[in-house]
Amino acid sequence: MELNALEVSNIRERIEQIKRDLESYRNFLQSRTENTGYHSDSIKNNSSNETISRSYYTAKNELKDLEKKLSKSTYVSYDNNDSIKIGSKFTVAFSDCKEAEDFILTEKIIGKTSIYGYISVESDFGKSIIGKHTGDKFSYELCSPLISSVVSGVVVNVKKEYTDYVHFIREQERQNRKSKKGLYIKNLALKSGNIDLYKKFNGITISQKHLLEEELLKLKSNIPKKDLNRINNIQTILDQRGIVSTNPDSNIIDIGSSFSIMLFNGEKTITKRLEMINQAFTTETDDSYIELISSLGAAIYGLGENANFCLKNYSGIVYDIDNTKYDERFITRDPKIYQKAKKK
C-alpha cells in the first residue's frame, strides 16, 4: 500500500489519539474494579462496564491495524509536476456545482484516519481523474439502486508548489534544507570541546529513535527488496548517536522540545505543534518536526514562552513549550487539542 506524507501524518495523529483513549479506558475500568472490590488481571473479564470494555478492544484492534499499515506501506513522495497521481493535491470544478473543491488522490481510504477531500484511486472518481492535467475534463457514472447519472467536470488546478503541502523532510536534499545560522550553532557546539554539548547536537530524540526503529523493521521484513545500504545506515545512527534528553525545568526551545508555533505569512496564519530536532534521518514529516539546521529552526532555537521571531518571508510566535520526559508528554500535532488537555 502507498501512503503520501499527509496520510502518514494523519495516521500517526490517530495512533496517538487511540493510545490516549486506551489509557482512559484502562483507568476507568481499573477505578470500577477498585470501587466494586472486584479484582482481575484481565480487562476483558471486568464486566463492570461492558460498553467501555468493548470500546477498549475496538480501539486496540484499530491501533494494531494502523500500526500494521505503517509497517507494510511504502511512502509516496510528492511529485512536482502537473499530472494527477497518487499523493497529488488538486482542484476540480463539477459541472453541477458553483464552487470548486480540493481533493487529494490516495491509494485507499483508511477508515477513521481519512478526512474530507481524500479520494481513492479505486473509486470511479479516482479512476476518471488520475493522469489528468490542469484544464482536462473528466466524467464518470454514478450508480445507485435508485438512480444512475453521469458526473462531469474540469481540473482547475494541480498543486505544484510545496507551500502548505505536507512532505517528507528527506524529499529535499540536505543542502537545500540547511541554513548558515543553523549550521553555525551546531558546529560551534560540536567544536567547543564540551562533551555534553557534543552529545546534544550530535544526538537524536526519542521520537526519532522510534521512527528509525520502525523503518528498520520495515526494511528488514522486505525480503525480496532489502535496501542493505539504508539498513546499515540506520543501524549506524542508532548505535553511534545518543538520545537527547530535555531539561524538565527549562522553558526554552531546545533539541527535543515540543512546542506550538503560529506562523504569519501575508494574510495566512498557520498553527502547528512541533518538535525540535538536530536533523532528519528518517521519514519524518515537516508538519511535526523542525530541524535546527533549517532557517526556521535556527530562528526559534533558544526562544522562550510567547517569544516572537521574524524571517524573510514570514513571522511568528512560539508558545506552550514542553520539556517534560517524552513518554510523559501529551503528543498531538494540534495546538488547540494540546491546550484543552492542559486545562484538564
Least confident of 101-115, 273-287, 305-319: 101-115
Distance CA 41, CA 114 (A): 35
169-205+242-343 has the same fold as 89-158: yes
With cut-offs at 50, 70 and 90, classify the pLDDT of residue 68. Answer: confident
CB 101 within 8 A of CB 92: yes
Tell me the per-residue pLDDT of 158-204, one tens digit each, with 9 for 90 and over.
876 545 556 677 766 666 677 777 777 777 777 777 888 888 888 99
Q: Which residues have C-beta within 8 Å of that of residue 159, sequence separation ≥ 6? A: 88, 89, 90, 91, 165
108-148 pLDDT, tens digit per residue, is 766 544 455 788 888 889 999 999 988 999 999 887 667 77
Report the SS3 class of residue 243: strand
CATH architecture, domain defined by 89-158: Roll (3.10)
Grid cell for residue 3? 501512503
Burial class of residue 123 in the structure, from the number of CB atoms within 10 Å of its CB (0-12 exposed, 13-18 middle, 19+ buried): middle
Strand partners, 265: 268
Could you tell me the residue ranges of all domains in the chain? 2-76, 89-158, 169-205+242-343
- The per-residue pLDDT for range 204-240, each reduced to its tens digit, is 999 999 989 988 888 888 756 678 888 999 999 999 9
Amino acid at 130: I
As a whole number of angstroms, the distance between CA 165 and CA 240 comes to 33
Residue 261 has pLDDT above 80, yes or no: yes
Distance of alpha carbon 97 from alpha carbon 26, whole angstroms: 48
Alpha carbon of residue 330 to chain centroid: 15
**Residue 78: all three cell numbers together:** 510528492
Are 76 and 4 in contact, with CB atoms under 8 Å apart?
A: yes
Give me the pLDDT at residue 266, please: 74
CB 43 within 8 A of CB 26: yes
| Domain 169-205+242-343: which CATH number of 3.40.250.10, 3.30.2090.10, 3.10.50.30, 3.30.930.10 | 3.10.50.30
Q: In this prediction, what percent of the chain has a pLDDT beyond 70? A: 85
Indicate whether 81 pLDDT > 70: no
Closest CA to 15 of 74, 51, 65, 77: 65
User: Is this structure's pTM higher than 0.85?
Assistant: no
**CB count in 10 Å sphere of residue 186:** 24
Reference 120, options 134, 110, 112; nearest CA is: 110
Cell numbers for 5, please give them. 506524507
**The pLDDT value given to residue 69:** 86
* Range picked from 6-15, 33-42, 56-65, 260-269 for highest mean pLDDT: 56-65
Give me 47's grid cell. Answer: 464486566
Q: How far is CA 106 from CA 4, 91, 110, 125, 283, in A?
A: 7, 15, 9, 12, 18
